[in-house]
Structure 1
Amino acid sequence: MTSFVITVPGTFVSDVADSVPLAVERKLAPRHTEFSENEGLQLLTLNEDATFSIRLEVEAPDKYEAELDAMRIVTAALKDAGLSESDAPLGPPAVTGIDSGL
């Protein structure tokens, strides 16, 4: 297995309470591990134009599985924070880091 840092972009299409980003970060905190922290990556970046980026670490056999897993995890975290897919549509995930342990 390989550790991938996946970045998932999104947009809040309506105003969200201040508690929503905190709830998302709490849910995803276990996915922000030593590898991604050492790279200086923030788990959640909020922009003034209502866009956001989530960076999380995923263990997977390949890039494709890592991206799929990241999308499932981010979607679940947003749902747990009270947002539907239409409240915070996500863009395509991208691999932004790889640690194969070599």
Structure 2
Amino acid sequence: MSTYVVTVPGTFLDAPSDAAREALVRALRPADPQGTGFGEAEHLDILTVYPGTPAFSLKLEVEADTAPAAGERAVGLATGALGTAGIPAESAPLGEPVITGLATD
């Protein structure tokens, strides 16, 4: 089992409220990459919204046996957190996950 930091890109087709963004970050807090050595070193944030665009990215720490499994797990966490925050999946489509860090046991 390995620990991965996975970046999941997305687009807010309907801009979420500040409260919804806060709820999204709160829902993802258990997967915060700050708990990893590379997360601390790189000052990774769970949610990054790119100024002047509807684009965003989520950086999540997940444990998995393979990179594809880590990507699937991260997308599942992101989808669940968006729902918990009241952001419908159709208003925030997600892109392909990218492995941005790896720590093996």
- Fold shared by both chains (TM-score > 0.5): yes
Are positions 1:31 and 2:31 aligned together?
yes
Matches within 5 A, 1:43-82: 43-48=46-51, 49-82=53-86
- What do the CA deviations read for 1:36-59 (whole angstroms, capped 9, x no partner)? 234321111011211100000000
Equivalence for 2:99: 95
Aligned residues: 101
TM-score (norm 1): 0.93
Partners of 1:90 and 1:18 in 2: how far apart?
19
User: What root-mean-square deviation, in Å, do the aligned CA atoms of Structure 1 and Structure 2 show?
Assistant: 1.1
Of Structure 1 and Structure 2, the greater helix share is in: 2
Tell me, in whole angstroms, the C-alpha distance in 1 between the residues paired with 2:93 and 2:22: 18
Q: Distance in 1 between matches of 2:81 and 2:70?
A: 16
Structure 2 distance, partners of 1:37, 1:21, is 22
Q: Deviations over 1:70-99 (max 9, x none)?
A: 000000000111112111000100000001
Deviation at 1:10, TM superposition (A): 0.4
Find the residue that maps to 1:64 and give its secondary structure: helix
Structure 2 counterpart SS, 1:86? helix
Identity %: 39
Q: Distance in 1 between matches of 2:89 and 2:67?
A: 23
Could you tell me how far apart the structure 1 residues matched to 2:40 and 2:21 are?
19
